[in-house]
Amino acid sequence: MSKSVQLYPILSFLTFYMIQISSKTYFAVFGIFLYIAAGVALLAYLESSERTRKSDIISAVIYILFTALFFILPSAGDMIEKTGLLLNSENLKIWWMPVYIVTIFIPVFFLYKNRADNKPLYIPVVLSAVLPALLTGALLVFFPDIRNGAVSAVANIIQVSIIDTLIKMKETMQIPDYYADMLSYLILNKETVAKQTVYMIPAAFSSVFILITYMCDRMKPVFRDNSVIIREFRLPDNLVWVLILGGFLILAPNEGLKYVSYNVLALFALLYFFQGLQVVNKLFEKFQVSIFIRSLLLLFIFFYFTVIASMIVLIGIFSIWFKPKWLEKDSNDKDKKDQDNGN
């Protein structure tokens, strides 16, 4: 067993804990990217040819040591605080171990099995979203104390982080009309905004799992030399009826059904965004579009995200009914090639 193979789980654990110990530092801004990096490193370890049962045991021991180390770090005192990291007992609880298992290990492990069995990519991506959506949705529906507590917590965050900040800015300087209007709206509708935010938690949590699973599959090639494998992401065509049903629920008179609709639309928008990217990528390949032009598209998506992303989502949806022959041909050829490789 090569010692280098143990660097992957160490990198995964360390990256994950950097998120937890720095909730109020610059690391928090890049939280989702750190989650993805932790997942990619773990996937690289699971798929490593040097991985053995012994290395699995060592990795588990290392993770337990990481958890114990970061649990006792606050006792280091002022020396640690000078690094700028927020190290306190509230950030470094022992239950970050199951958090890693749920948010990183389980989704990445199912992705690893999916890649090993050469199954469609959409399976682990969709499944990674199902449990968080159902669990958080059930908590909000069947446990009113948890729901009301979450609404109060979000309302307090809005008050402290946004309303109070804008009021202080208004006292010292003239704020733009946009911020003035937002301040007036939040003062009058703080509880409503907090409630809407809490009811969108199922989609928010599930989106994180979708991003981790999807991006881990996309970013895995960085750990391989001269091997870049971009697997096709395409949802089953019949799954669009879930999106259509969710869209019609927005017309329901019941408020709860409306929030179900909002969550379904948000989740499927992300999924069909990935499918739309797949179609756009195949279009680029067909017409041999240069890397430079593809990079420009990424810039357009970044600067005009709402418009461009909406167009890509629509491309992903309408590719179900208006599928070009070249897209079907490429997909069938790829599936046949994968089956031949498997045999």
Distances in Å between the Cα of 237 and the Cα atoms of 124, 264, 316, 321 are 17, 16, 11, 9
Same domain, 221 and 312: no
Give the end of a domain, one of 207, 231, 255. 231
* Cα 115 to Cα 40: distance, rounded to the nearest angstrom: 13
* Cα 50 to Cα 46: distance, rounded to the nearest angstrom: 9
* Cα 46 to Cα 41: distance, rounded to the nearest angstrom: 9
pLDDT tens digits, 23-67: 544 444 567 788 888 888 888 888 888 888 888 888 888 888 777
Same domain, 110 and 135: no
Give the end of a domain, one of 231, 249, 277. 231
Same domain, 98 and 35: yes
Per-residue pLDDT at 343: 45
Same domain, 158 and 182: yes
* Cα 238 to Cα 241: distance, rounded to the nearest angstrom: 6
Identify the residue with better confidence: 215 or 226.
Answer: 215
What's this model's pTM, rounded to 2 decimal places? 0.80
Give the end of a domain, one of 231, 264, 288. 231
Same domain, 138 and 189: yes
Mean pLDDT along residues 223-244 = 75
Give the chain's mean pLDDT.
Answer: 78
pLDDT-based confidence at residue 221 (cuts at 50, 70, 90): low
Question: Where is average pLDDT lowest: 137-146, 238-247, 304-313?
Answer: 304-313
Same domain, 257 and 334: yes
Same domain, 208 and 310: no
Q: Is the pLDDT of residue 284 over 50?
A: yes
How many domains is the chain partitioned into structurally?
3
pLDDT tens digits, 166-199: 888 888 887 788 888 888 898 899 999 999 999 9
Same domain, 224 and 312: no
Structural domain harbouring 276: 233-343
Per-residue pLDDT at 227: 46
| Two structure tokens written together for 126 | 């969709």
For residue 158, the one-letter residue type is I
pLDDT tens digits, 75-109: 444 444 544 444 444 444 555 667 788 888 889 99
Per-residue pLDDT at 328: 61
Closest CA to 331 of 237, 234, 213, 239: 234
